[in-house]
Amino acid sequence: MNIQDIKKVYVEKFGTHDAPVYTSPGRINLIGEHTDYNGGFVFPGAVDKGITAVINPNNSEKVRAFSIDYNELSEFGLREEDAPSQSWARYIFGVCRELTKRGLQLGGFDTVFAGDVPLGAGMSSSAALESTYAFALNELFDGQINKFELARVGQSTEHNYCGVKCGIMDQFASLFGKAGNLMRLDCRSMEYRYFPFNPKGYRLVLLDTLVKHELASSAYNRRRQSCETVAAEIRRLHPQVEFLRDATLAMLGEVKSKVSAEDYTRAEYVIQEVERVLSVCKALEKGDYETVGRKMYETHRGMSKLYEVSCEELDFLNDVAKECGVTGSRVMGGGFGGCTINLVKDELYDNFIRTAKEQYLSKYGKEPKVYDVVIGDGARKL
């Protein structure tokens, strides 16, 4: 849906013609999965798809929010006890609460929003929604909250109002994205660096399995718990280990008998993945995309066999990529469904997409959705 259409709905619902419009994108991640809440590195970029909202203060204490995609209106107050029942509206409510906790003098507002970032595809539509409102409300109500803290507003919304103990990657990417650039973020220090990403002769493409697991958020939270349990155990022997990011496989070996076999393999994946992000950075600097691709396959194996956040359909598409000679392929984002991200040579692209569609259709009765990645800008006023 384009901006004019969203504005039109706003005028129909709330009457005002010149209300401001804000947008924030979803994200991809080249490598560094489930490393963010372990204090490690991630390598995301914003996409050219996101959430766009018309928002205007209404001089009351009430929010009136209309979701075009759900064709639903939600009205709620700004106090802790005013939480709306619709789950999409809880993201906006949560952002309001988290901004208020950080001192913003927030009043009511009217808003209409729509998105073109696919839901449940692992491209972080929820971070796009949170970042749109965090960024817009901070500006509209004269807040002084910086973009790092706005990212934390979105993250705390997930933790406190939506039940997902996520890391900072998605909200960071949505706020700091820059067209044509990936970003390497150190999730402990929050230092980041832009990497222009224009791999000559290759394309990045997402294949969406269209699978979305209902229990993904509790499984996600359990993974995080495993990581924290193992880090705490290692810390007893090595007090400098704050997160798994600081641990080595040798340290992990020392606590093998103290942790469950499951927690052990979870931690093994994370420790290897933190290392992989750094080797991918080096490879990218040299334009060595073959190494980048190899590391992506390694990540997929780790996420599937050790971290266990893949699923049959994702593994299937990963195998198809391998058979088609795709340079790199892996499950992207939290997992449990969603997309694979694929680094594929120009000349292999058509055959890969055709083969993936045919084989997926004959096995699962539907074609995967295909998204060519265009790396876009972060949160902004339009």
Minimum distance of ligand GLA from residue 295's CB (angstroms)? 15
Active site annotation includes 170: yes
**HSE-CB of 171 using CA atoms within 13 angstroms:** 27
Residue placing its CB nearer to ligand GLA in the complex, 111 or 125: 125
353 near ligand GLA, judged by CB under 6 A: no
Q: Least Å distance between CB 329 and ligand GLA?
A: 16
Instruction: Number of residues interacting with ligand GLA: please give it, by CB under 6 A.
Output: 11
Tokens of 353: 């997409």
Residues 135-174 that bind ligand GLA (CB under 6 A): 166-167, 169-170
By beta-carbon proximity to ligand GLA, the closer residue of 28 and 140 is 28
**HSE (CB half, 13 Å, CA atoms) of 39?**
14
CB of 336 to ligand GLA, least distance (A): 10
- Residue 41 beta carbon to ligand GLA: minimum distance, rounded to whole angstroms: 11
Among 40, 50, 302, 334, binds ligand GLA (CB under 6 A): 334
Please report how close the Cβ of residue 199 comes to ligand GLA at its closest, in angstroms. 22
Site string for ligand GLA, 13-52 (x = CB under 6 A): --------------------xx-xx---------------
Indicate whether 124 belongs to the interface with ligand GLA (CB under 6 A).
Answer: yes
Per-residue contact track with ligand GLA, 276 to 315, x per CB under 6 A? ----------------------------------------
Q: Which residues are catalytic?
A: 170
Residues that bind ligand GLA (CB under 6 A): 33-34, 36-37, 124, 166-167, 169-170, 333-334
